[in-house]
Amino acid sequence: MFTTTTYRQQGKLRGHYGPLYCIATTDDGKFVASGGYDGTRVWNLKDLAQISPRPAPVGIRGATSAIAWTNREDDPGELLFYGTVGGYLVCWRQLAGESGFHEVYSNRLYKHTEILGLAFDPMSNRLAASNRAMVQIFAISSSTEPRSLYSVAIDHFIPKCLQFSGLPGKQRDLLVFGNHDGKMRVHVFRTLTGSLDVDKQLECWGVGACIGDAVVDNRSGTFCVDDPDTGVLIYRLEDRRRMKVLNVPIEKENRPRQVRFGDDYRAIVVGSDHGIIYVFDRRTGAIIDRLKFEEQDFVQAIATVDCDGTALIFAARSGDAVEQNDIMIWRKAAGRPQSGPTLREDIVNILQLIIVLAAVVYVYQNGQMMGGFIELLTRRNE
């Protein structure tokens, strides 16, 4: 049995039934959205309660497969998008002065296949969505429904994951991670012009590994890929050079796991096939903690957020035979501040310095007295 040393379980979000496939939080950690077999739910993290009213249940749309908050700074209410296995893109909006969310948009993407990925870029107010047939870019406005800018179909390619990227001096690009003719590829598209020209693809490169999920850190110019056969692979975004491999044990089967940065990008969090969340130190690659479920089940749905300066991790089971399914919450344990010594330590250090100085003065003064006494005895003997 593992004992957590860095993170402590804070609570649970109760209400889901069946496997969960995705979890996402607002940037401030105020709201948590989760989706899976029984649809989408929204939670208030302050009291760990599910928010109502809640829009329509699963119905013909199917289970929820992807979630993304838009987190617009100029929008007074929160805006949540989710995709379903039936190919529907749905939007919930929190209306001004209300605590609940209401459905304001629902449309089926091309080919009506499962939506695999959603990503929002706050710098360009663009939402990207992908299913098994295409990638589509939308412009998001605070007052109107999503406006489709362009769609791109990539032959022999399954776009598993979407991530926006913006290196210094470059425009906003969309990275599309997926499988191409048996080789794992990343396609890069420019997203700002909004033209319908499908020649927007900038480049395509391989990462030499299976791709189950991916996440990008634009601040440091790195990205992580979940390789179901190995673990987490860390690459440099500028030249795609592999920098580190974080091994994750496989006990049952090598199914894809979600990977996330955590603790202000100092940690990397990934699921497993045996009910353990692995937390790695990003810099050293060492395991910081192992967060254990009671059941040794497949864990795919993961989310991380820094709330009031404290790192939080959310996770739920994604196994095929899950019934009641609680979302577990872990909080990083408070530690000693890293900025400098405490007031008590300062006082102790000053007292120790005073004692040392007093000892030096004492030795010096007694040394002078002893020298004078010896000199007096010497003169008498003479």
pLDDT at residue number 201: 67
pLDDT digits (tens, 9 = 90+) for 305-332: 998 889 999 999 998 888 899 999 999 9
Q: Which residue has the higher pLDDT, 342 or 7?
A: 7
pLDDT at residue number 132: 87
Would you state the structure tokens that stand for residue 21, as one six-digit string?
């496939």
Distance, in Å, from the CA atom of 300 to the CA atom of 41, rounded to the nearest integer, reads 17
Distance, in Å, from the CA atom of 2 to the CA atom of 43, rounded to the nearest integer, reads 29
Is the pLDDT confidence value at 190 over 90? Answer: no
pLDDT digits (tens, 9 = 90+) for 143-178: 668 888 888 888 888 898 999 887 555 567 888 998
**Least reliable range by pLDDT among 5-19, 21-35, 164-178:** 164-178
CA of residue 205 relative to chain centroid, distance: 24
pLDDT at residue number 332: 95
Q: Are 30 and 71 in contact (CB under 8 A)?
A: no
pLDDT at residue number 316: 96
Distance, in Å, from the CA atom of 270 to the CA atom of 268, rounded to the nearest integer, reads 7
Is the pLDDT confidence value at 364 over 90? Answer: no
Percent of the chain with pLDDT over 90: 48
| pLDDT classification of 223: cutoffs 50, 70, 90 | very high
74 C-beta neighbours (distance < 10 Å), count: 7
Q: Which residue has the higher pLDDT, 291 or 339?
A: 291
pLDDT at residue number 366: 63
Q: Which residues on adjacent β-strands are paired with residue 244?
A: 234
pLDDT at residue number 340: 38
Distance, in Å, from the CA atom of 269 to the CA atom of 273, rounded to the nearest integer, reads 14
Distance, in Å, from the CA atom of 249 to the CA atom of 246, rounded to the nearest integer, reads 10
Percent of the chain with pLDDT over 70: 78
Is the pLDDT confidence value at 219 over 80? Answer: yes
Model confidence, pTM: 0.82
Q: Which of 47-61, 134-148, 260-274 has the highest mean pLDDT?
A: 260-274
Tell me what the pLDDT averaged over the chain comes to: 83
| pLDDT classification of 99: cutoffs 50, 70, 90 | confident
pLDDT at residue number 174: 87
368 C-beta neighbours (distance < 10 Å), count: 10
Omega cis (within 30) before 76? no
Q: Are 48 and 13 in contact (CB under 8 A)?
A: yes
Q: Are 301 and 315 in contact (CB under 8 A)?
A: yes
Is the pLDDT confidence value at 256 over 80? Answer: yes
The SS3 call for residue 110 is helix
Q: How far is CA 11 from CA 64, 118, 210, 234, in A?
A: 23, 27, 34, 31
| pLDDT classification of 380: cutoffs 50, 70, 90 | very low
| Residue type at position 238 | E
